[in-house]
């Protein structure tokens, strides 16, 4: 018999603020409606929590985050995006430069760059940001990235040496680190979407990557190499067992009939998550997820993304003075001549 997502012990749910006026990092005390044109959203669970700034990259519907210790301004970046146009082959830094401009404006001290997993739908700007700010800033990812590197290296013609000096820190479940003097961060392993997938629990803010989507979307696919629907159910169950007032920040949002959003509380997910609300059994989830994944198409930026992201945002070695991103051809008809 499969497991079921059940309600944990209830706790009183405090209020939380969006674009909080309590933080000295907030550029204005205007209400949210007057700040609609800002390129970021600001979240803060309470006066002692980290400031969370969310930046949408609209082409890939990716959320990038900067988390800040309000006392020292030590900060970390989560899942920065490098712009890529597959038609022209143009790489650009529009999304990352917005982050860099914000960092400069707020006088933040970036001490870590955090990747939730090797993304298959956008390219990482981690190396660009690291080199622009300070080459000593560590790029951190789950230790199981090595499993994906081993799988994809022969596909893209990469050597073991191509992964040297890419990621700096390999994280495990329950690893902890500090931001400044007041903010504690904990790593949580959230496999299912990919085997290397991790999240970051920063007080009551939990950065989930692609391990859960907004409640009306439910869950991400689990059919990438090493992905597994049962593991994804387990990861979602772990997230939904947190206190109801904890805030789950997603890696993507693909809205239909609403604006892009990046956060919902655990309590909201427990009641409304389309694929994993309370009472959902493992069997129900796995049957749906596996059937759904069979009809999903290949992500548009799959091959460019993986070649760059398994190397922490480094481009493949240049050939003939140019950088090449390879796309392995799939021969639907074996009679096609080579």
Closest CA to 266 of 41, 51, 8, 61: 8
Question: What whole-number distance in Å separates Cα of residue 201 and Cα of residue 193?
Answer: 18
| Nearby residues of 58 by Cβ (< 8 Å), 6 or more positions away | 260
Q: Residues 82, 298, 162, 189: is their CA dihedral positive or negative? A: positive
Q: Is the pLDDT of residue 44 over 70?
A: yes
| Average pLDDT for the chain | 90
CA 15 distance to own-chain centroid: 25
Strand ranges (DSSP E) for 116-172? Answer: 123-124, 139-142, 169-171
Q: What is the pLDDT of residue 35?
A: 47
Q: What are the strands of the beta sheet with 198-202, ordered from one edge? A: 176-179, 183-189, 198-202, 205-207, 247-249, 263-265
Taking Cα atoms as reference points, which of 188, 202, 203 lies closest to residue 236? 188
CA distance 73 to 268: 31
Q: Give the separation between CA 271 and CA 197, rounded to whole angstroms.
A: 25
**pLDDT at position 36 over 70:** no
Q: Which residue has the higher pLDDT, 92 or 34?
A: 92
| For residues 71-92, average pLDDT | 97
Q: Cα-flanking dihedrals φ and ψ of residue 113, to 5°? A: -115, 125
Contact call for residues 65 and 43 (beta carbons, < 8 A): no
How many separate helices (H) and strands (E) can be counted in the chain?
A: 7, 17
CB 2 within 8 A of CB 282: yes
pLDDT-based confidence at residue 233 (cuts at 50, 70, 90): very high
Average pLDDT score over residue span 194-207:
97
Give the Cα separation of 153 and 173 in Å (integer).
25
Q: Is the pLDDT of residue 325 over 60?
A: yes
207 strand-pairing partners: 200, 249
27 pLDDT tier (thresholds 50, 70, 90): very low
Lowest-pLDDT range of 30-34, 121-125, 127-131: 30-34
- Indicate the pLDDT class of residue 237, thresholds 50, 70 and 90: very high
Q: In which residue are the tokens 């622009």 written?
A: 132
Spatial distance between the Cα atoms of 337 and 72, rounded to a whole number of angstroms = 62
pLDDT above 90 for 20: no
Name the residue among 116, 73, 77 with its Cα closest to residue 100. Answer: 77
Sign of CA dihedral 136, 141, 147, 152: negative
Residue 64, strand partner residues: 55
Measured N-to-C along each axis, helices 229-240 and 282-294 cross at an angle, to the nearest 10 degrees, of: 130
* CA 229, 232, 236, 238 torsion-angle sign: positive
Query: What radius of gyration do the chain's Cα atoms show?
Result: 20
- The domains of the chain, with CATH numbers, are 17-309 (3.60.15.10)
Q: Which two tokens stand for residue 70?
A: 């309000």
pTM of the predicted structure, to 2 decimals: 0.90
pLDDT band at 166 (very low <50, low <70, confident <90, very high): very high
């Amino acid at each position: 018999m499969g497991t079921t997502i059940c309600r944990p012990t209830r706790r009183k749910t405090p209020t939380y603020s969006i674009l909080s006026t309590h933080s000295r990092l907030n550029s204005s005390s205007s209400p949210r409606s007057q700040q609609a044109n800002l390129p970021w959203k600001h979240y803060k669970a309470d006066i002692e929590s980290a400031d969370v700034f969310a930046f949408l990259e609209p082409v890939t519907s990716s959320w990038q985050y900067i988390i800040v210790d309000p006392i020292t301004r030590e900060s970390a970046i989560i899942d920065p995006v490098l712009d890529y146009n597959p038609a022209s082959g143009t790489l650009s830094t529009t999304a990352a430069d917005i982050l860099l401009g914000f960092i400069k404006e707020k006088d933040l001290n970036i001490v870590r760059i955090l990747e939730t997993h090797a993304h298959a739908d956008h390219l990482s700007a981690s190396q660009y940001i690291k080199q622009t700010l300070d080459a000593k800033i560590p790029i951190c990812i789950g230790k199981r990235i090595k499993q994906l590197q081993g799988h994809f290296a022969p596909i893209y013609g990469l050597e073991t040496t191509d992964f040297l000096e890419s990621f700096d820190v390999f994280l495990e479940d329950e690893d902890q680190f500090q931001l400044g003097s007041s903010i504690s961060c904990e790593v949580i392993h959230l496999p299912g979407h990919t085997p290397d997938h991790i999240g970051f629990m920063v007080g009551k803010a939990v950065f989930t990557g692609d391990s859960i989507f907004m409640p009306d979307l439910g869950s991400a696919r689990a059919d990438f190499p090493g992905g597994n629907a049962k593991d994804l159910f387990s990861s979602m169950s772990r997230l939904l067992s947190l206190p109801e007032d904890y805030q789950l920040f997603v890696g993507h949002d693909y809205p239909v009939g609403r604006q892009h959003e990046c956060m919902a509380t655990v309590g909201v997910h427990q009641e409304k998550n389309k694929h994993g609300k309370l009472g959902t059994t493992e069997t129900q989830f796995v049957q749906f997820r596996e059937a759904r994944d069979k009809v999903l198409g290949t992500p548009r930026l799959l091959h460019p993304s993986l070649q760059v992201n398994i190397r922490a945002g480094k481009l493949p070695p240049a050939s003939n003075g140019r950088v090449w991103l390879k796309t392995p051809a799939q021969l639907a008809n074996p009679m096609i001549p080579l």
